[in-house]
Amino acid sequence: MEDTRTLRFFNRGPSAVARLVFFSVLSLALLFVDARYKYLESTRQIIAVIIYPLQRLTALPGEVWNGAGSYITLQGHLVADNEKLHLQHDADAALLNQMQTLQAENAQLRELLDVTQRADYTMQMAQIAYVERDIFKRKLFIDKGEQAKVQAGQAVVDNGGVVGQVTRVYPLLSEVTLVTDKDIAVPIQVVRNGIRAVVFGSGNISELELRYQPVNADIEVGDMLVTSGMDGTYPPALPVAQVTKVERDPAYPFAHIVCAPLAGVDRHRTLLIVSSVPPLPERPVAETEVDDAKRVKKLVKRSKP
Amino acid sequence: MRNDLARDREFLLPASTVFIVMSFFVAVVLEWLPWRGWMLALRPDFVGLVLLYWCTHKPHRVGIGIAWVLGIFVDVSDASLFGQHALAYSVLAFGGLVLNRRVQMFNLREQSVHVFALLLASYSVYAVVHWQVRGFVAWEYFFGVVTSALMWIPLTHLLQALRRPRRDPNEL
């Protein structure tokens, strides 16, 4: 009878100690290979695939229990849940809308920040308060006025370029005339070749005109126009417009050049007021205010070279 | 001494291969149950216990080789390193084989003390490997030794009862 035999190691192959050593070494080798080289992943996966159904089977009772619980949920619970979810959804939708607006605003503010860093002059941020409702005027009101030391004549820019000019200052508001207004002229330079010119508003929201250029002027579609800074109002090198159409008709003395403004003159909510354009020296004729020593110095410096 | 004789007879109860395999299978399934948190730390090592049971009761049938193969399976299902459980179970089976005569002399309560020592050795092997490879040891892991040793008595009763031949209803 098998069970009555004593445990005689040597009659039954290798001794227990030998087996222990053998299997221990085998285990350690496996451990080493697994921990160091990850060679055994495929073997592990094969065994895992074999035992996966069994493992699922053991998890089954718990899943069935949970599933049964949710299956027998009462109608009342469902209705209440549904109501709650609806409320939640409404609240979330409102928040989401708000967030989208905020995101757009944030993106624009970031770009503005970038503009401020590019420019050397200090800038003041302002929000658009109202837009003029008269379709013949291209004007808007911003929420910075005298209290923020805004002065008429300051340029207003956004991340794209020049938006317009402060034309009137109220205690808490300022009126900005957009570059597309018929009364506004901006001295510009063509980036490609440095031609100086003046661009005029056309009254149309998306058009500017480059007037008084000879028919043979070297201006092409796609040319970038930037402020020249020669008027003392706009800081130099701010983008203003891009040429979109050039008509050269020999019947007229001047070419008809149409440009599109680069700034979002009709888009954003936040604008920058360029607050301190470096003052230019006075014209020689107007000598009355030249008592400012600094200005004289500058004048001297400039005239030297 | 009648008691001892009875115990000897208990040890000599027959065991079919199918029964042994089934007992291991049930043990593995028990380990796979979704134990979590503290329950996981307190989870008795069912496979280890069943293995020890067979190593002490049927040392000719179940040995270190079977322990090792079983360890590999548990390694895969536990996602431990290959050979980690295999090594621990080899040590456990060796302990069971060496102590099998000695364990038979004690009653169940005294046996569970032996079982505690053997399991502690096996758990330590596992923990040392873990420490060597991963660099830390979770001490609550050793609570499993206590619960496993406590499980020894009911487990032995259960397996013995299942092995005992059914009394023939027609017997006088």
Under an 8 A CB cutoff, do B81 and A31 touch? yes
Chain centroid to Cα A103, Å, comes to 9
Residues of A with Cβ-Cβ distance to B100 under 8 angstroms? 7
Under an 8 A CB cutoff, do A3 and B71 touch? no
Residue B4's pLDDT is what? Answer: 56
User: Mean pLDDT in chain B?
Assistant: 83
The DSSP symbol for A235 reads P
With CA atoms as reference, the chain A residue closest to B66 would be: A23
Residues of A with Cβ-Cβ distance to B64 under 8 angstroms? 16, 19-20, 23
The SS3 call for residue A281 is coil
Measured between CA atoms, how close is A67 to chain B, in angstroms? Answer: 16
Residue B49's pLDDT is what? Answer: 92
pLDDT band per the 50, 70, 90 thresholds, residue B168: low
Residue A17's pLDDT is what? Answer: 85
pLDDT band per the 50, 70, 90 thresholds, residue B94: very high
Query: Residue A230 is encoded by which pair of tokens?
Result: 């020669």
Q: Which residues of chain A have pLDDT under 50?
A: 1-4, 305
A208-210 and A196-201 beta bridge pairing: antiparallel
Closest CA relative to residue A278, chosen from A134, A143, A122: A122
The residue among B2 and B45 whose pLDDT is bigger is B45
Residue B48's pLDDT is what? Answer: 92
Chain centroid to Cα A150, Å, comes to 27
Specify the residue for token string 């079919």.
B16
For B:92-151, CB contacts with A below 8 A are 94, 97-98, 100-101, 129, 133
Query: Residue A92 is encoded by which pair of tokens?
Result: 């979330």
CA distance A217 to A247: 11
Residue at A61: amino acid letter: P
Kindly state the average pLDDT of the residues B14-31. Answer: 86
CA distance A29 to A64: 42
> In degrees rounded to 5, what are phi and psi of residue A173?
-135, 165
CA distance A79 to A98: 29
Helix residue ranges, H only, chain A: 16-37, 41-71, 75-118, 293-303
CA distance B55 to A135: 99
Per the document, the length of chain B is: 172
Dihedral, CA of residue B158, residue B160, residue B161 and residue B166, to nearest 10: 150
Residue A42 contacts B where some CB pair is shorter than 8 Å: no
Closest CA relative to residue B54, chosen from B3, B106, B19: B19
Residue A58 contacts B where some CB pair is shorter than 8 Å: yes
Residues of A with Cβ-Cβ distance to B94 under 8 angstroms? 16-17, 19-20
> In degrees rounded to 5, what are phi and psi of residue A240?
-115, -55
Measured between CA atoms, how close is A271 to chain B, in angstroms? Answer: 58
Residue B1 has pLDDT above 50, yes or no: no
Specify the residue for token string 């050039």.
A246
Query: Residue B160 is encoded by which pair of tokens?
Result: 């013995």
The SS3 call for residue A271 is strand
The residue among B100 and B93 whose pLDDT is bigger is B93
Residues of B with Cβ-Cβ distance to A28 under 8 angstroms? 83, 87
Give A40's Cβ-side CA count (13 Å radius).
20
CA distance B30 to B22: 12
| Claim: this prediction has a pTM higher than 0.95 | no
Under an 8 A CB cutoff, do A43 and B59 touch? no
The sign one gets for the Cα dihedral B76, B79, B81, B84 is negative
Residue B152 has pLDDT above 60, yes or no: yes
Residue B2 has pLDDT above 60, yes or no: no
> In degrees rounded to 5, what are phi and psi of residue A167?
-110, -20
Under an 8 A CB cutoff, do A58 and B71 touch? no
The residue among B79 and A236 whose pLDDT is bigger is A236
Under an 8 A CB cutoff, do B87 and A4 touch? no
The DSSP symbol for A254 reads B
The SS3 call for residue B144 is helix
Residue B51's pLDDT is what? Answer: 92
Residue A34 contacts B where some CB pair is shorter than 8 Å: yes
DSSP string, B34-88: ---HHHHHH---HHHHHHHHHHHH-TTTS-HHHHHHHHHHHHHHHT--TTHHHHH
Residue A38 contacts B where some CB pair is shorter than 8 Å: no
Burial class (CB in 10 A: 0-12, 13-18, 19+), B74: buried
Residue B93's pLDDT is what? Answer: 92
What percentage of chain A reaches a pLDDT higher than 70? Answer: 80
Residue B50's pLDDT is what? Answer: 93
> In degrees rounded to 5, what are phi and psi of residue A223?
-65, 140
Mutate: best of B25, B62, B81, partner A, most A CBs <10 A: B81
Q: What is the tens place of the pLDDT at every residue in A133-153?
A: 655 667 788 888 888 888 888
ipTM for the predicted complex comes to 0.79
Q: In the A/B pair of chains, how many CB contacts fall below 8 A? A: 93
The DSSP symbol for B171 reads -
Residues of B with Cβ-Cβ distance to A35 under 8 angstroms? 81, 133
Chain centroid to Cα A251, Å, comes to 47
Specify the residue for token string 């548990």.
B74
Residue B58 has pLDDT above 60, yes or no: yes
Residue at A184: amino acid letter: I
Specify the residue for token string 């330079």.
A189
With CA atoms as reference, the chain B residue closest to A9 would be: B60
Residue B116 has pLDDT above 90, yes or no: yes
Residue B67 contacts A where some CB pair is shorter than 8 Å: yes
Residue A12's pLDDT is what? Answer: 58
Residue A1's pLDDT is what? Answer: 44
CA distance B97 to B119: 13
pLDDT band per the 50, 70, 90 thresholds, residue B124: very high
Residue A158's pLDDT is what? Answer: 85
